[in-house]
């Protein structure tokens, strides 16, 4: 019987092993996996010498549309994601305007997103002071999880995102536990980091190292511990976003060992940029929690090698160039967010799998399988029969240097420009459709679909 797509001779990365196999796709699903498939297909690709793996499920992306579309938009953002090997992403409830904290705002975002996405997408709902009444409707509308900030965020612009106070955090967790969802948290102590930043500015200490010093590791750990305590009290499932320190990782591991339902993510920049490099690169490498020093980074690599990092996300948080300008001589004034999603899979495959010999199956667990499981995207995240045919090809021997010209972002800047990476995503398929080809660039139409998590009631059925 004829297939739609056939990928032959690749080294296929399954959940527990890597094996040479052919993969055939019909109607967007993986239909056959076999040592050799002899039937024909409309499209046949030879993946000899390349890895075939599930596309990245990047659960931390800021697209900024509607409202701040001049920062990044669905079209440019998802072209970059597709070119970088991501096949599904979860969009954050900020930095679009209005922030996604009500059903009304979510509908505006869905309308803005329709027909512009090159890969599949799911949405986060926000937890902010004053929106407790809206959490249910966001769940009904299909958000995969909720996101809140313990660090200061947002602006005075009406409709912008706001960080939670402890009361909102506590009451929000109670409600989210009732809804059976996960709450994702940006964990940093707002008052201490704000206070230390004011001190630095007063003393005229305006360099990257001063910014990093204003957000010490303990401010991350304190917020993690506070959130874990409230989660224990309320029974809420937690996910900690962009953990930057091993002390943070260890607190989360401890809570998990004591029975709490908690996961964590970290981001490529914490593994690939050090404080020294931040000082050289400048504002483009500013994010929060901040880039740490070499010693802390090595410890974080140890945690990754020990399997303590559940998942990797880009935290792609773009902005216009003037907010990252060289002319900004006060680092505290620069936008805190890194533009990086187009190179994340390559970069981490190179650093973790190639240079540190991290098992490739574990790499795939971090970029695809675990995020799909945690956020209940059950058709995604694995090369297996009947799953969505969301796949990427990686050539482990194709080196390249990141150049601004090759970036699909609305604003072609990134801290990775001029970095040499020793492997490359060469093809990206979403539900069996080729969306990126290294030789041709983005191909085809924006076929990305809005996907919703497995409903709570269905999850129970599956378990029983």
| Residues near 209 by beta carbon (within 8 Å), at least 6 away in sequence | 275, 278, 279
462 burial via Cβ count (<10 Å: 0-12, 13-18, 19+) = exposed
- Smaller CB separation from Zn ion, 93 or 172: 93
| Comparison of 50 and 263: residue with beta carbon closer to Zn ion | 263
Phi, psi of 253 (to 5 degrees): -60, -40
Q: Rounded to an integer, what distance in angstroms lies between the CA atom of residue 71 and that of residue 24?
A: 39
If the CB atoms of residues 22 and 315 are measured against Zn ion, the closer one turns out to be: 315
Asked whether position 58 contacts Zn ion by CB under 5 A, the answer is no
Cβ-proximal residue to Zn ion, closest one: 315
Please identify, among the stretches 76-84, 129-137, 309-317, 404-412, the one whose residues bind Zn ion according to the rule CB under 5 A. 309-317
| Residue 315 makes contact with Zn ion by CB under 5 A | yes
Looking at beta carbons only, is 72 or 315 nearer to Zn ion?
A: 315
Q: How far is the CB of 288 from Zn ion (least distance, A)?
A: 9
Q: Which two tokens stand for residue 236?
A: 């809420």
Q: Does 351 contact Zn ion by CB under 5 A?
A: no
Which residue matches tokens 């902010």?
Answer: 128
Tell me, letter by letter, the H, E, C secondary structure of 88-144: EEEECCCCCCCCCCCHHHHHHHHHHHCCCCCCEEEEEEECCCCCHHHHHHHHHCCCC
d(Cα 347, Cα 276) in Å, to the nearest integer?
A: 19
Length of the chain: 464
**Binding window for Zn ion (CB under 5 A); candidates: 79-87, 145-153, 277-285, 315-323:** 315-323
Give the DSSP per-residue string, 57-69.
Answer: EEEEE---TTT-T
The interface mask with Zn ion, positions 258-297, x = CB under 5 A, is: ----------------------------------------
**Counting contacts by CB under 5 A, is residue 350 touching Zn ion?**
no
Q: Which is nearer to Zn ion, 59 or 88 (CB)?
A: 59
What's the closest the beta carbon of residue 94 comes to Zn ion, in angstroms?
8
* Minimal distance, residue 227 CB to Zn ion, in Å: 16
Q: Which stretch binds Zn ion (CB under 5 A): 17-25, 69-77, 269-277, 307-315?
A: 307-315
Residue of 325, 327, 332 whose CA lies nearest to 212? 332
**Between 338 and 407, whose beta carbon lies closer to Zn ion?**
338
Question: Contact between 22 and Zn ion (CB under 5 A)?
Answer: no
Residue nearer to Zn ion on the CB measure, 105 or 435 = 105
Question: DSSP strand E in 230-295: where?
Answer: 237-240, 262-266
Residues in touch with Zn ion (CB under 5 A): 315
């Amino acid at each position: 019987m004829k297939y739609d797509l056939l990928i032959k001779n690749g080294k296929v990365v399954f959940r527990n092993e890597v094996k040479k196999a052919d993969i055939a796709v019909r109607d967007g699903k993986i239909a056959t996996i076999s040592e050799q498939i002899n039937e024909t297909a409309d499209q046949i690709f030879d993946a000899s010498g390349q890895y075939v793996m599930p596309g990245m499920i990047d659960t931390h992306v800021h697209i900024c549309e509607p409202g701040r579309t001049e920062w990044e938009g669905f079209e440019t953002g998802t072209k970059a994601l597709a070119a970088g090997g991501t096949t599904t992403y979860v969009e954050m409830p900020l930095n679009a305007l209005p922030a996604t904290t009500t059903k009304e705002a979510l509908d505006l975002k869905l309308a803005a997103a329709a027909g512009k996405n090159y890969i599949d997408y799911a949405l986060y709902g926000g937890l902010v002071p004053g929106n407790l009444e809206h959490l249910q409707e966001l769940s009904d509308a299909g958000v995969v999880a909720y996101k809140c900030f313990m660090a200061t965020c947002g602006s005075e612009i009406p409709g912008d995102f706001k960080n939670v106070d402890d009361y909102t955090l506590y009451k929000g967790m109670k409600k989210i536990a009732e809804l059976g969802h996960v709450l994702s948290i940006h964990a940093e102590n707002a008052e201490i980091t704000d206070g230390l930043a004011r001190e630095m500015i007063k003393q005229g200490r305006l360099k990257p190292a001063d910014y990093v010093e204003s957000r010490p590791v303990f401010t991350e750990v304190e917020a993690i511990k506070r959130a874990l305590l409230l989660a224990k009290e309320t029974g809420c499932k937690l996910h900690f976003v962009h953990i930057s320190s091993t002390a943070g990782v260890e607190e989360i591991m401890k809570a998990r060992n004591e029975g709490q339902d908690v996961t964590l993510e970290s981001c490529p920049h914490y593994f690939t940029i050090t404080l020294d490099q931040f000082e050289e690169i400048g504002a483009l490498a500013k994010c929060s929690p901040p880039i740490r020093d070499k010693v802390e980074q090595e410890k974080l690599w140890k945690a990754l090698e020990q399997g303590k990092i559940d998942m990797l996300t880009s935290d792609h948080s773009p902005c216009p160039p003037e907010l990252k300008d060289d002319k900004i001589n006060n680092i505290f004034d620069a936008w805190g967010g890194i533009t990086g999603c187009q190179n994340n899979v390559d970069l981490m495959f190179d650093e973790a799998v190639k240079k540190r010999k991290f098992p490739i199956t574990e790499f795939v667990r971090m970029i695809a399988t675990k995020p799909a499981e945690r956020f209940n995207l059950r058709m995604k995240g694995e090369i297996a029969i009947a799953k969505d045919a969301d796949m990427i090809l990686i050539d482990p021997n194709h080196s390249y240097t990141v150049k601004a010209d090759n970036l699909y972002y609305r604003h072609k800047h990134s801290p990775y420009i001029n970095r040499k990476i020793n492997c490359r995503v060469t093809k990206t398929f979403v539900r069996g459709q080729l969306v990126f080809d290294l030789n041709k660039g983005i191909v085809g139409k924006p076929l990305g679909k809005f996907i919703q998590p497995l409903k709570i009631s269905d999850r129970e059925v599956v378990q029983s």
